[in-house]
Structure 1
Amino acid sequence: MARATGIAVWTRIAAQLREDIASGAIVPGGRLPPEAALASRFAVNRHTVRRALEDLARDRLIRIEHGRGSFVAEPVLDYQINLRPRFSEWVRRHNREPFGDKLSLRMIDPADLPECTIIREVLGLAAGEPVLELLRRGTADARPLSLSRHIFPARLEGLHAALLNHATITAALAQIGIADYLRLRSRITCRMPTPRECALLELERDAPVLHCENVNVTAANTPLELCFAIYPSHRVALIVEPTA
């Protein structure tokens, strides 16, 4: 790359890479060429390329994963944690098309689940009382955004059939007479995904996820659901605002 008076070479490289990203030559989530390839392309040393990449990372146009390379940043969708947990409404507010893919639905003894103690406590289950476990993958414009396990008391009459017949949990609950439900609390942590979660969310093994443990209740404050949901941390930002 020929030098221009007053303009650092790394600045010009960064500007060219910005143009490549803006034009769609490198799509969101796509990997940039390795540093060595970029150094060859611009006829500079790798240190100069690295400085250009760091500039793009500061502006959040790319993310640098040590040992793997640099990737064009994907749009991050803000998810406001509020009273009504509605995946479809959240995605549509970002002008994306939501879809909930039902991966499995089964009746199971909570004793067979690792979260047995909290499930029984939150849902107020009697000894030996089963639950319904629904596994769903949520997407926006076909891009995976969430993987969630929804645990309901199996005593809710007609819920199994309603969950099978409806695309959304809200519609399924409405069918059995639960017109509204609210979020009582959420506990948010961060962890690394399992290999299966990586496959379902189209993630690299070292991409962290946000893990939410949500307790939902009916409008009458009756325990309804315990939900364990994960979100790719580079695609979703969880927003919590004080209510008072």
Structure 2
Amino acid sequence: MSWNDTDLEESPIPRWSQIADRLRTDIESGSFKPGDVLPGEAEINKRFGVSRSTSRAALDYLETEGLIKRRSGVGSIVIEPRVERPLNQISSFSEDMRRRGLTPGYRTRSVKVVSASAAIALELQLQPGDDVVEIDRTMLADGMPLATSITYLRPQLFKKSGIPTIEELDSGSLYERLRRDDIVFAGGDERIEAAMADTMTARILNVRQPAVVLICHRTSWMPDRQPVEYVVLHYLAERYSFHVKLIKA
């Protein structure tokens, strides 16, 4: 059944909600695919005999759910579904993507040894000016940019196999490479905030401004609680969400 096959029901459910439910069902079933443009307000109004405010409310709600992006002069465009990550575990980007049936990928801009700034030194419990390995990458899901990351690591993590090259990082997960050297993070702290993407981030993520990003600051530590990794990630908010389970206190 398509969104416009039958008339709306006479029920306590608001008409805008019924319209949103039908369009959502067609999006989730694949009748409308990412990149498709949904019926506009005028078409919805004509089909169901509703006001413009009703059709607008239905489309606005789908946008708040992260299913569409409304663009002036274009319409309501179906977007890729959000990738969801639980907040109570440390896992690699590759693991997250594969669990969701997506193919992870990386574009590494640089790998170099730099002097730790005061902020980075504080996170890694180093002295300002100490050497750290900096890795600057874009994270891809099915070939589409999803996030940027700048990672700072203690150099001793690479004593066994050496600092990875750009080619190595483009071909796989940093965490998986560390695990091959018997380096596994035991825990970490993560802070998340929302912000508007700056010009550089918007260009890398291939989105128009204004665009919202979720900025994650994560410090990971070894079993002895020594912090060894500090990473700043910018996730495209329309493609990524975080999930946390709550229990009653």
Both structures adopt the same fold (TM-score exceeding 0.5): yes
Match of 1:113 in 2: none
Judged with a 3 Å threshold, the aligned counterparts in structure 2 of structure 1 residues 65 and 117 are, in CA distance, closer, same or farther, namely: farther
* Farther off after superposition, 50-59 or 134-143: 50-59
Judged with a 3 Å threshold, the aligned counterparts in structure 2 of structure 1 residues 126 and 155 are, in CA distance, closer, same or farther, namely: farther
Of 203, 209, 214 in structure 1, the residue corresponding to residue 213 of structure 2 is: 209
Which segments of 5 or more consecutive residues in structure 2 lack a partner in the other structure?
none
Judged with a 3 Å threshold, the aligned counterparts in structure 2 of structure 1 residues 95 and 221 are, in CA distance, closer, same or farther, namely: same
Give, in angstroms, the shift of residue 109 of structure 1.
Answer: 2.0
Of 74, 77, 80 in structure 2, the residue corresponding to residue 74 of structure 1 is: 80
Of 50, 53, 57 in structure 2, the residue corresponding to residue 54 of structure 1 is: 57
Match of 1:87 in 2: 93
Match of 2:179 in 1: 174
Give, in angstroms, the shift of residue 120 of structure 1.
Answer: 0.6
Number of positions where the alignment pairs a residue of Structure 1 with one of Structure 2: 234
1:238 is aligned with what amino acid? F
| Residues 148-188 of structure 1: CA deviation (Å, up to 9, x unaligned) | 1111123543442367535211233235x343113310011
**For 1:183 and 1:195, how far apart are their aligned partners in 2?**
33
Contact 1:14 1:53 (C-alpha < 8 Å) held by counterparts: no
Judged with a 3 Å threshold, the aligned counterparts in structure 2 of structure 1 residues 108 and 15 are, in CA distance, closer, same or farther, namely: closer
Q: What is the 5 A alignment of 1:1-244?
A: 21=27, 26-32=32-38, 39=42, 48-59=51-62, 60=65, 62-63=67-68, 65=70, 69-110=75-116, 116-156=117-157, 157=159, 158-161=161-164, 165-166=168-169, 167-175=172-180, 177-241=181-245
Judged with a 3 Å threshold, the aligned counterparts in structure 2 of structure 1 residues 29 and 237 are, in CA distance, closer, same or farther, namely: farther
SS of equivalent to 1:161: coil
Contact 1:148 1:227 (C-alpha < 8 Å) held by counterparts: yes
1:106 is aligned with what amino acid? K
Contact 2:15 2:54 (C-alpha < 8 Å) held by counterparts: no
Q: Identity of paired residues, percent?
A: 24
| Residues 220-244 of structure 1: CA deviation (Å, up to 9, x unaligned) | 3221100001111121111233599
2:175 is aligned with what amino acid? T
Contact 2:196 2:212 (C-alpha < 8 Å) held by counterparts: yes
Judged with a 3 Å threshold, the aligned counterparts in structure 2 of structure 1 residues 50 and 204 are, in CA distance, closer, same or farther, namely: farther
2:154 is aligned with what amino acid? P
Contact 1:11 1:52 (C-alpha < 8 Å) held by counterparts: no
**For 2:83 and 2:165, how far apart are their aligned partners in 1?**
30
1:70 is aligned with what amino acid? S
Contact 2:66 2:81 (C-alpha < 8 Å) held by counterparts: no
Give, in angstroms, the shift of residue 119 of structure 1.
Answer: 0.6
**For 1:20 and 1:241, how far apart are their aligned partners in 2?**
29
Judged with a 3 Å threshold, the aligned counterparts in structure 2 of structure 1 residues 221 and 22 are, in CA distance, closer, same or farther, namely: closer
Q: Normalising by the residue count of structure 1, what TM-score does the alignment of the two structures yield? A: 0.75
* Farther off after superposition, 48-57 or 81-90: 48-57
2:233 is aligned with what amino acid? A
SS of equivalent to 2:207: coil
